[in-house]
Chain A
Amino acid sequence: MIDKLSGALNFHQEALNLRAERHEVLAANIANADTPNYKARDMDFSRELSKVMESGRSGGQGLSLATTSARHIPAQASAPATQELLYRVPDQPSLDGNTVDMDRERTQFADNAVRYQAALTMINSRIQGLKSAMQPE
């Protein structure tokens, strides 16, 4: 029962988590807009999300509790996701080896922030739905 509850929220939780990580990567790109030889990074969001949804965030290699009796409850902690960050291909390379394109970064940043809020709205309405289903008549 509780498992179903967390399952219902799992997708949105993972999506929010990935959005937050992408937010951090894009913020780092903007912060390093004037750093010589900095290469702009980004992630393929849909691929990372489907990877997390398929194999779980742990990648199957999380820490697990040692069980010494058959009646112990096995538990597995999730290790951080192993994301693959890609490098952006610059369309206007600069002399100092920096590949941050401020316009592109800021567009992506705004886009990511809006999608993060969309995911928040989604998870909120999901919670509302579950809550109203739990109300007694």
Chain B
Amino acid sequence: MSMFSVFDISGSAMSAQSQRMNATASNLANADSVAGPNGEAYRAKQVMFETQAQGRHGVGGVRVSEVVEDQSPLRMEYRPEHPLADEQGYVQMPNVEPVHEMVNMISASRSYQANVEVMNTSKQMMLKTLTIGEG
């Protein structure tokens, strides 16, 4: 048993949260992308978290199991002058919800900070442990 696994646990959570942040950034950046590589409007992406069990009790870090696309209907906007408009004059816009994305971003950043704090505390504890029997 070693306390080094705390660094793995917090580190995995930090990387998972930053992936979530990446997805949020991508969603916000593409909130108005009417055409992606597949020719369709951009769909919001969500990361799924899953526990990465290690050790005896299923205690472990977290990892991103998959990135899913939001399947809710695309937003239809009336823009008859747009080159991608259909016969009725509607353009398919991405289904990104800016409010959801902002909330996701705040939540990811708070969780990231909490894990940084865990890491700092663990580092201090381990450095202190190394001084046993000194002085």
Contacts and interface: CB of A to CB of B under 8 A. Distances in A.
Contacts, number: 91
Nearest 7 interchain pairs by C-beta: A31-B13, A35-B49, A28-B59, A85-B57, A27-B6, A127-B133, A31-B9
A120 interface: yes
Contacts of B5: 24
Given A32-B13, A124-B133, A21 B118 contact: no
Given A24-B9, A28-B60, A30-B114, A117 B1 contact: no
Given A33-B13, A34-B111, A35-B51, 12 more contacts: A17-B1, A27-B6, A27-B118, A31-B9, A31-B61, A31-B115, A32-B62, A35-B50, A80-B1, A85-B57, A116-B125, A120-B128
- For chain B, give the interface size range: 35 or more
Contacts of A33: 13, 111, 114
Interface residues of A, number: 33
Interface of B: 1, 3, 5-6, 9-10, 12-13, 17, 20, 48-51, 55-57, 59-62, 107-108, 111, 114-115, 117-118, 121-122, 124-125, 128-129, 131-135
A102 B17 CA distance: 15
A75 to B, nearest CB: 21
Given A27-B118, A34-B107, A120 B132 contact: yes
A110 B114 CA distance: 12
A35 B1 contact: no
B3 A36 contact: no
Nearest to B12: A31
20 contacts: A17-B1, A21-B1, A23-B6, A23-B125, A24-B59, A25-B59, A27-B10, A28-B59, A30-B118, A31-B115, A31-B118, A33-B13, A35-B49, A85-B57, A109-B121, A113-B124, A116-B125, A117-B128, A124-B132, A128-B135
Interface of A: 16-17, 20-21, 23-25, 27-28, 30-36, 38, 41, 80, 83, 85, 102, 106, 109-110, 113, 116-117, 120, 123-124, 127-128
Given A24-B5, A35-B49, A102-B114, A117 B60 contact: no
Given A25-B59, A31-B61, A36 B49 contact: yes
A110 B62 CA distance: 21
B123 to A, nearest CB: 11
A21 B5 CA distance: 10
